[in-house]
Structure 1
Amino acid sequence: MPLSEHEQRLLDEMERSLYQNDADFVAKVGGGRVRPTYRAVVLGILLAVVGIGVLLTGVFTQIVLVGILGFVLMLAGVLVAITPSRRKRAAAALDDQQQASTPKQAQQPGFMDKLNERWDKRQDGEQ
């Protein structure tokens, strides 16, 4: 069942508040995901294909060592393809630190403050 428009707005506001107030938590949970580069994906796929070839060669020639080498090459290819580069990871971490260290502008009332205000108004009989 989809969210109503009001619920979607509340969810978006809660999300923005979380990103503003808990930058460290978001960074730890995965806010700064870094994707692998195109070059690493292509290199990983090529390495995996070569690994499959070496593995099949090891199977057909019945040389266990060649089969194991092929498997290791395939595994290395997959790891190269899915792992982000160190440079990108370091840049993302630096970005997160800079965002966390910048002072916040004038404190605007947060989501919870607005909810508390609305609750108080309801308790007083206003609305």
Structure 2
Amino acid sequence: MPLSEQEQRLLDEMERNLYQNDADFVATVAGRRGKPNYTLVVVGALLAIAGVAALVAGVITQLAVIGVVGFGLMLAGVLIVLSPGRRDAAEVPTSPAAGGAARPSAARSSWTERMNERWDRRQEGREG
């Protein structure tokens, strides 16, 4: 079911306000979309595979120490693969939104208060 024009306008306005008022969040979310570090992915996968092999060897030889080490290797490999790679200093945004200064959390709460007031006015308009 498509959104009505009013709902679409409200959604667009909320998105604009998000970009303006919560620039830190937008910069964080936008920063996650980068190229993965393939070296870390390969190293992590190899560690995980070595961990599986050590775990199986520990079960076969019935030595718990080898199994625990294998599990540790698997865990380390998976964590390396899933960890975000470092970004270059040039890629890190220095200012939050389009050159604007960071706004205090009071500005975010006032935006929330404005949205709550709008909601209350709409509800009053429907009832009266």
Interval of TM-score (by shorter of Structure 1 and Structure 2): 0.5 to 0.7
Distance 2:98 2:8 in 1: 30
How many angstroms does 1:7 deviate by?
Answer: 1.9
Distance 1:26 1:32 in 2: 8
Distance 1:5 1:81 in 2: 43
Q: 88, 96, 99: which is aligned to 1:102?
A: 99
Distance 2:61 2:97 in 1: 58
Distance 2:72 2:90 in 1: 30
Cα pair distance change 1:4/1:40, threshold 3 Å: farther
Q: Which runs of 5+ in 2 are unaligned?
A: 102-113, 122-128
Cα pair distance change 1:2/1:44, threshold 3 Å: farther
Range 42-51 or range 65-74, more displaced: 42-51
* Residue in structure 2 matched with residue 49 of structure 1 by the alignment: 49
Q: Percent identity?
A: 54
Would you tell me which structure has more helix in proportion to its own residues?
Answer: 1
* Structure-2-length-normalised TM-score: 0.61
Per-residue deviation, residues 47-94 of structure 1 (Å, max 9, x unmatched): 111100110001000111111110000000000000012x328665x3
Distance 1:72 1:56 in 2: 13
1:22 and 2:32 correspond = no
Per-residue deviation, residues 1-27 of structure 1 (Å, max 9, x unmatched): 553354234313311221123213545
Could you say what the CA RMSD is over the residues aligned between the two structures, in angstroms? 3.2
Q: Which amino acid aligns with 2:32?
A: R
1:7 and 2:13 correspond = no
Q: Which runs of 5+ in 1 are unaligned?
A: 105-111, 120-127
* Structure-1-length-normalised TM-score: 0.61
